[in-house]
């Protein structure tokens, strides 16, 4: 294809949609992934097209299963024939926030399979595809961007399985950055703070108060477009010597302060 192509997992809503729109503005053809039937995301597809994407496809599938990952990549091969960028964004929170002394094995396994195991093996598959494309074309450029969370290092004892999944995901960034360096395929991580999405809608009142009381240096919620802007900049190949690095997009929340 004459333009860059990108897959954004979980790209039909929230942070993923913010990333898809930012990439569309830069002229990427965009494949978005989600669990809903395609008939329920037609407005989202039109929104991304309207932002400037020359082509948009929807890849339904669960990134937490091998079958789901295979289906996603098969459709991209059929529709785009190539892939330049993987944005690992899909993730879930626990269905119930529970103290770590009460976390169920079922919740732990569900969160880890989608947030950590899924992107690990999707990245593995995409990385091998990027390597093949680069061997076929020396001018080909591919990259991987992992959208993680400050929960990779900030402990929340009422959702421990989420924190563990994000800590593991952070190591996935480091591992693939180290492995793909010799092929000049950079791997980056964007680490959002408190972002206003449907995932955080249930704790809006809590974080409204915390932000007003100084939780973040920048006294507002983060927005999906804040993450999208960071992803778009990395996708432009502006930081070729920064593979493996973490870009914090948290309004200064994690700055140690007295």
**Confidence class of residue 24 from pLDDT cuts 50, 70 and 90?**
very high
**Confidence class of residue 198 from pLDDT cuts 50, 70 and 90?**
confident
Residue 202 has pLDDT above 90, yes or no: no
Q: What pLDDT digit, counting tens, does each position of 25-44 carry?
A: 999 999 999 999 999 999 99
Residue 2 has pLDDT above 80, yes or no: no
Fold (CATH) for 5-249:
Rossmann fold (3.40.50)
> In b/e form, how buried is each residue of 29-57, taking b as 16+ CB within 10 angstroms?
bbbbbbeeeeeebeebbebbeebebebbb
Q: What pLDDT digit, counting tens, does each position of 92-146 carry?
A: 999 999 999 999 999 999 999 999 999 999 999 999 999 999 999 999 999 999 9
Nearest-CA neighbor of 17 among 218, 241, 223? Answer: 223
In whole angstroms, give the CA distance from residue 222 to residue 178: 30
Q: What pLDDT digit, counting tens, does each position of 153-192 carry?
A: 999 999 999 999 999 999 999 999 999 999 999 999 999 9
Residue 1 has pLDDT above 80, yes or no: no
- Rg for the chain, CA atoms, rounded: 18
Q: What pLDDT digit, counting tens, does each position of 226-239 carry?
A: 999 999 999 999 99
CA angle at 34 for the pair 29 and 35, rounded to the nearest 5°: 155
With beta carbons less than 8 A apart as the criterion, state whether 45 and 70 touch.
no
Q: What pLDDT digit, counting tens, does each position of 57-93 carry?
A: 999 999 999 999 999 999 999 999 999 999 999 999 9
């Amino acid at each position: 294809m004459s333009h860059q192509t990108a897959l954004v997992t979980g790209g039909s809503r929230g942070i993923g949609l913010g990333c898809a729109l930012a990439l569309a503005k830069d002229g990427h053809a965009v494949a978005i992934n989600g669990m809903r039937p395609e008939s329920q995301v037609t407005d989202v597809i039109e929104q991304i097209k309207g932002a400037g994407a020359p082509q948009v496809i929807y890849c339904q599938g669960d990134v937490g299963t091998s079958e789901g990952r295979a289906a996603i990549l098969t459709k991209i091969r059929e529709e785009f024939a190539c892939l330049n960028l993987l944005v690992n964004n899909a993730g879930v929170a626990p269905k119930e926030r529970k103290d770590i002394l009460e976390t169920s094995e079922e919740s732990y396994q569900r969160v880890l399979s989608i947030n950590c195991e899924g992107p690990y093996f999707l990245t593995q598959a995409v990385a091998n595809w990027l390597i093949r494309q680069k061997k076929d074309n020396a001018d080909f450029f591919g990259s991987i961007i992992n959208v993680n969370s400050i929960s990779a290092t900030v402990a929340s004892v009422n959702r421990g399985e989420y924190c563990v999944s994000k800590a593991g995901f952070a190591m996935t960034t480091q591992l693939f950055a180290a492995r793909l360096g010799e092929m000049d395929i950079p791997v980056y991580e964007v680490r959002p703070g408190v972002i206003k999405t449907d995932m955080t809608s249930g704790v809006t009142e809590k974080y409204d108060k915390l932000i007003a009381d100084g939780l973040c240096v920048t006294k507002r919620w983060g927005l999906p477009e804040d993450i999208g802007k960071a992803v778009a900049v990395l996708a432009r190949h502006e930081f070729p010597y920064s593979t493996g690095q973490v870009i914090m997009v948290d309004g200064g929340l994690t700055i140690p302060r007295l």
